[in-house]
Amino acid sequence: MALALLTGSACAQDVDDAAALSLPASTPALAESARPWRLFIEGGAGRAVGRDASFAEAPHATERLSVDLQVDAALAPRWRAVLADRLDVNWERRFNGRDEINTVKEAYLSWQPSSDVIADIGRVNQYSGVATGYNPTDFLRGDAVRAVVSLDPTSIKKNRQGSVMLRGQRVWDGASLTALYAPRLGAAPSGAPFSLDWGATNPRERAMLIFSQRLSAGLTPQWLLYKEQGASPQFGMNLTTLVNDATVAYLEWSGGRRPSLLGQALGQRDEAAFSNRVSTGLTYTTSDKLSLTLEYEYNGAGLDQATWTSLPQATLPGYLRYRALAGSAQEMPTRREAFFYASWQDVWVRHLDLAAMVRRNSADHSRLSWAELRYRLMHDEIALQWQGNSGGPFTEYGAAPVRWSWQLLYLHFF
């Protein structure tokens, strides 16, 4: 269906033009090298203070070892193969209680019959959206994360598992169209360490159309139509515009009829209602490589302040199920949230980068804070990460299992 829609006569485009109009890259770019593969090993050690059943502090040591492989190889003229896989092994309390999880992020074949048509088949990490902290148009993100290696939103996107799909894209002068179809391959997510986890990424049939059209030199909106088996269509839009030489404004929206998250968590069959999801914000960049993003996030399907506050008292098991469902779906549990992100390259010396993030829940005023200092060399990176959660015992971030943590990381590229 995707190939029939996308193939046909079209004006030839340069590869650079096609890339400029295409969706956000599904595969992180490989290091600039003649090699078709990239391999790195990352080790980390730190300390965390969690909460036990009585919400008392429980400090413990943490250790992690990760192996990440990415391959992007030409098999024949117009054919290439892409593979991205990550293995994460975690320990606590000085290498006790080992927990390992493997994530097949991508594994697909790509065919380019002409300069303006591309077709892919296999597991593809397809993500959409122009916002930084919350992406309403990222329709395939549910149950995609098997292991959280960093709270940075970019890391969460690129280290998740893709969906098995047939995807095609056609590009022409000033526009692009992408169509994809993902079949049903499983019923439920799997927690097995080396599972391909078809039930998480392909629990039902899904299809999506994405269309971009350049309206002016600085304005290329994107529209999305998403449909999954047994559910109403969902619509989406992404829009960015240049406010001035240093400021970019963006808007990301999705909407459609769907059952409430709370009804799903409690096993209730409530009627689907139309709900909106919005992320909008500004990114300001200075001449010395400091970038600041302030974002407002809204989830119309989330709980209002009164319902969120009373839910733990009304039904504690329901509250726990609701939190678990919202977390696996990567949805905001409440209506509104504020997000701030800052990144600073070459902060004091060359190759030393600083990043920081704050999320604040507007309903319960709980807060998540995260910061990272990273020094980059030719084949090595050293990073120090810190995370803190604050709030009451039943707030979004106050109820997180970790109160605060820090971790020292070393990464080596082969």
27 has a pLDDT exceeding 50 = no
How would DSSP label each residue in 15-61? HHHHHHHSPSPSSPPPPSSSSSEEEEEEEEEEEEEEE-TT--EEEEE
Q: What is the pTM of this model?
A: 0.89
Which H helix or E strand runs over 248? strand 247-258
Residue 5 pLDDT class (50, 70, 90 cuts): very low
What pLDDT was estimated at residue 51?
74
pLDDT of residue 270: 78
Three-state DSSP state, 11:
coil
pLDDT at residue 26 tops 60? no
CB neighbourhood size of 117 (10 A): 19
Q: Residue 10: pLDDT band by 50, 70, 90 thresholds?
A: very low
Output the average pLDDT for the chain.
Answer: 90
Answer whether residue 24 shows pLDDT above 50.
no
Q: How far apart are CA 372 and CA 149, in angstroms?
A: 13
pLDDT tens for each residue of 353-412: 999 999 999 999 999 999 999 999 999 999 999 999 999 999 999 999 899 999 999 999
pLDDT in the model for residue 105: 98
DSSP state of 8: S
Name the nearest CA neighbour of 167 among 232, 213, 111: 111
Give all domains of the chain, ordered by start, each with its CATH number. Answer: 2-6+35-413 (2.40.160.10)
In this model, does residue 141 exceed pLDDT 90?
Answer: yes
pLDDT tens figures, 142-198 = 999 999 999 999 999 999 999 999 999 999 999 999 999 999 999 999 999 999 999
- Beta-carbon contacts of 99 under 8 Å, excluding residues fewer than 6 positions away, are 89, 90, 91
pLDDT, tens only, 216-272: 888 999 999 999 999 999 999 999 999 999 999 999 999 999 998 999 999 887 788
The reported pLDDT for the residue numbered 52 is: 66
Half-sphere exposure of 100 (CA within 13 A, CB side): 12
285 dihedral zone (left: phi>0; alpha: psi -120 to 50; beta): beta
Average pLDDT of 319-327? 96
| Confidence category of residue 56, pLDDT binned at 50, 70, 90 | low
Q: pLDDT tens digit string along 62-93?
A: 999 999 999 999 999 999 999 999 999 998 76
Q: How many CB atoms lie within 10 A of CB 284?
A: 15
